[in-house]
């Protein structure tokens, strides 16, 4: 099941963005760096690294939303298992919360 998020565009149009889970991130990766990595594959709508509420440190995973399915699929194909600062990252389509 693909997890898509509806986005309202100007002119009343809607676009379905593909949301991806990104895991095993190096601790130094922040939102800007995550977005920079995925922009190589297309238009990034949002990139968020989740942080611990108490310490503010990265929890080592995040989510990226891309506007185009083909670009998102290419990012998943190229980045899943890729080495990032000595860690093999996990990239796949996010699943809705139960």
List, for residues 50-80, the tens digit of each pLDDT value. 999 999 999 999 999 999 999 999 999 999 9
Tell me the C-alpha to C-alpha distance, in Å, between residue 25 and each of 12, 30, 62: 36, 9, 8
**Structural domain boundaries enclosing 35:** 28-98
Split at pLDDT 50, 70, 90, the class of 49 is very high
The residues, any chain, with a CB within 8 Å of residue 24's CB and separated by 6 or more, are 60, 61, 87, 88, 89, 90
Structure tokens at 90: 């996990």
Domain CATH code at residue 62: 3.30.70.330
Give a yes or no: residue 88 inside a domain.
Answer: yes
Looking at residues 25-42, what average pLDDT do you find? Answer: 97
Distance CA 2, CA 5 (A): 10
For residues 28 and 34, the answer to whether their CB atoms sit within 8 Å is: no
Give a yes or no: residue 22 inside a domain.
Answer: no
Whether pLDDT at 2 is above 80:
no
Split at pLDDT 50, 70, 90, the class of 16 is confident
Query: What's this model's pTM, rounded to 2 decimal places?
Result: 0.84
Looking at residues 83-94, what average pLDDT do you find? Answer: 97
Give a yes or no: residue 2 inside a domain.
Answer: no
> In this predicted model, which residue has the larger pLDDT, 81 or 1?
81
The three-class DSSP label of residue 62 is strand
Q: Which among 29, 88, 87 is positioned nearest to 63, based on CA atoms?
A: 29
User: What is the number of domains present in the chain?
Assistant: 1
Which pLDDT does position 1 carry in this prediction? 45
């Amino acid at each position: 099941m693909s997890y898509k998020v509806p986005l309202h565009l100007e002119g009343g149009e809607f676009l379905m963005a593909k949301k991806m889970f990104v895991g095993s991130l190096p601790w130094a990766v922040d939102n800007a760096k995550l977005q920079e990595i995925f922009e190589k594959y297309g238009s990034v709508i949002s990139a968020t690294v989740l942080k611990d509420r108490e310490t503010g440190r990265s929890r080592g995973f995040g989510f990226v939303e891309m506007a185009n399915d083909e670009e998102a699929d290419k990012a998943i194909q190229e980045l899943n298992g890729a080495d990032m600062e000595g860690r093999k990252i996990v990239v796949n389509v996010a699943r809705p919360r139960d």
